[in-house]
Amino acid sequence: MSPNKKSYDRLAELLANVPPERIRKALVKTEAITIRLTPADKAEIQLAAKACGMTLTDYLLGLHQLVVRKLVSEDEA
């Protein structure tokens, strides 16, 4: 699910003239979400994230991004 080289090249092109401090400020994570789930569900999510070599945050955000892309592609179809 990682971006390809073309995506990175495009991102570098877009950010070439943006001051580094502005980029750092835009990437700071300041928000949190708390969810309630069963111990079994939590363990399954943690296991899946670990199997993917990801943190829980990166895993859940990755799933979210996957769903958003799917919904957008369905809307465009």
Per-residue model confidence (pLDDT) at position 46: 97
Per-residue model confidence (pLDDT) at position 25: 86
Mean pLDDT by 10 residues, the chain (77 residues): 73 88 86 96 97 95 93 82
What stretches of 16-38 show up as alpha helix (H) in DSSP?
20-27
Per-residue model confidence (pLDDT) at position 2: 55
Per-residue model confidence (pLDDT) at position 1: 43
Write out the two tokens for 76: 């465009």
Cβ-proximal residues to 45 (8 Å cutoff; 6+ apart), any chain: 37, 56, 59, 60
Write out the two tokens for 1: 């699910």
Per-residue model confidence (pLDDT) at position 3: 60
Flag whether the pTM goes above 0.75: no
Please give the full DSSP string across 30-68, using - where no structure is assigned. ---------HHHHHHHHHHHHHTT--HHHHHHHHHHHHH
